[in-house]
Structure 1
Amino acid sequence: MRTPDRDRRGHAVPARCLAALIGLIALLLLAAGQPAGAAAVFTIAENGTSYTATIDLNQTDTYPFMETGVLGEQIPATVTNVNLYNDSGNVTYQKDQTGITFQKGNYTISYQGTLRDDHILLALPEVTSADVHLPTGLDVRNPLIGQYSPGGKVSVDDQGQVSIHWDRTSYVEVRYYDQTRESLLYMFANIWVVVAIVLLTPYLLMRRRKL
């Protein structure tokens, strides 16, 4: 005897729910097997000479304060106002010349550092996602005077604040500039265009006469 269509639909609904549940469990197991990376956020101060860092730490007991030298080597970074905390509040730590140590667990660390020459270049203790937020008035989008490390994606909010995001990176590097430097760049570019025209004009006139 043929099974009525209504009965078939009745059996199909639980089957779909079971398949969706199995798929959800598989995704959760896959995510659990992935190593959790820290999220790092660096906010440049209004004057561009310092920054504030906020970084999530996952199952670790150390955090080194490092920056990248001119040859790519990692060197200790000088930082101030170091705070380590979790859901329970501030956490005590021991500090040495290279970083801090503490009881292993999940924490958030915040600190401040200084910047020179409109340039931030910091090494991260592990591959992670990262953001650099620039204050309104600073930019990186002109490739002649601005720079950011590979993989960065630039966005601008309604207030004109520029941010750079990396999905996965082991370091962040941003060379930024203000509007004055960009105006000077365009001014010198215009001067060179005028100079080029002045130098080329006699040559073009002589060539025209020969023709």
Structure 2
Amino acid sequence: MRSANRDRPDHRGTALRAVTAVLLIGILLIVPASANTATYYIAENGTSFSAEITLVNQSGYLLISPGVIGEGAELKVTNLTLTAENGTVVNTTKKSSTQIAFPEGNYTLVYDAPLDGYLMYAQYLSPFNTTVFLPAGFHTNNVLLGPVSNGGVTYNLKKDRVQLHNLGIIADGTQYETVVVWTDRQEIQMRFYPASYEKYFVICMGLWFILFCAVGYRYWRLKRKANQYF
């Protein structure tokens, strides 16, 4: 006696669902998800930067800089323009001293801002992919003089062109030498310095080493002299 149809295993349906799942996974792997991105171009003198921000399904953006005691302070920007996908310029409103607001959507935001003490800092409302272009004559390769926050990877535009190309980053102009990249970070920070700072740093460390040796030798002589009386 044959089993009723409803009691038979549905091999065809199971196979179809499996194939559909594989296809969906393949599509997700092939078509990358849109991401919020921020690109900063630091000026040749290191005292300002220009920003190009791609916003996806966003309704606000932070314009913030580190305060004197580490608190969030308002970033004074100029030439701020918010453009919708159709090319229309959209007005922004101040939600607070450090945040602008606008209707939720996809936009391109550009602005210029000053830099204080060779410190590049940004904070976002959600994770961003961030790229900072540093002009020739400035460096970040000394962890004491030019620390980079967690997740930041430093590239040389001439030596690492293949890696940068694979990341979709192409140098725009010849004045840039270094690129620092963060992926999916809600806060980034980097301090850069002129090349001349390294020479002063070496001299300063040398002087401190000489002073340390002199004090250590003096201490050793005094201790040795004191031990002669016992």
TM-score interval (norm. to shorter): 0.7 to 0.9
Asked if structure 2 preserves the Cα contact closer than 8 Å seen for 1:134 and 1:163, the reply is: yes
In 2, Cα distance between equivalents of 1:198 and 1:66? 46
Aligned to 2:42: 44
Q: CA RMSD in A?
A: 3.3
Structure 2's unaligned 5+ residue stretches are 1-17, 159-173, 225-230
Q: Does 2:142 align with 1:126? A: no
Map 1:42-191; keep pairs closer than 5 Å.
42-69=40-67, 72-96=70-94, 97-158=97-158, 161-191=177-207
Alignment gaps of 5+ in structure 1 = 1-17
Q: Secondary structure at the match of 1:147?
A: coil
Shifted more, 135-144 versus 82-91: the winner is: 82-91
- Identity fraction in percent: 27
Q: Secondary structure at the match of 1:88?
A: coil
Q: Is the 8 A contact 1:128 1:170 kept in 2?
A: yes
The answer for the alignment partner of 2:7 in structure 1 is none
Does the aligned pair in 2 maintain the 1:37–1:126 contact within 8 Å? no
Distance 2:70 2:207 in 1: 36
With normalisation by structure 2, the TM-score equals 0.69
In the alignment, structure 1 residue 26 sits paired with structure 2 residue 42 = no
CA distance in structure 1 between the partners assigned to 2:129 and 2:142 by the alignment: 24
Go from structure 1 to structure 2 and tell me whether the alpha carbon gap of 1:81 and 1:173 turns closer, same or farther (over 3 Å shift). Answer: same
Aligned amino acid, residue 77 of structure 2 = V
Question: In 1, are the aligned partners of 2:145 and 2:192 still within 8 Å (CA)?
Answer: yes
Distance change in 2, residues 1:48/1:201 (3 Å): same
- Counterpart of 1:179, as a letter, is A
Q: How far apart, CA to CA, are the structure 1 residues paired with 2:28 and 2:157?
A: 36
Once residues 65 and 211 of structure 2 are traced to their aligned partners in structure 1, the CA distance between those partners, rounded to angstroms, is 42
CA separation of 1:57 and 1:187: change in aligned 2, threshold 3 A: same
Q: Cα deviation per residue 1:150-201 (whole Å; 9 max; x = unaligned)?
A: 0111111127711111111111101111111111001122333444555666
User: 2:205 corresponds to which letter in structure 1?
Assistant: A
SS of the residue corresponding to residue 183 of structure 1 reads: helix
Over 3 Å counting, the alpha-carbon distance change for 1:193 and 1:91 in structure 2 is same
Check whether the contact 1:130–1:167 (CA below 8 A) recurs between aligned residues: yes
Q: TM-score, normalised to structure 1's length?
A: 0.74
Distance, in Å, in 2 between the alignment partners of 1:93 and 1:134 is 30
Tell me by how many angstroms 1:44 deviates.
Answer: 1.1
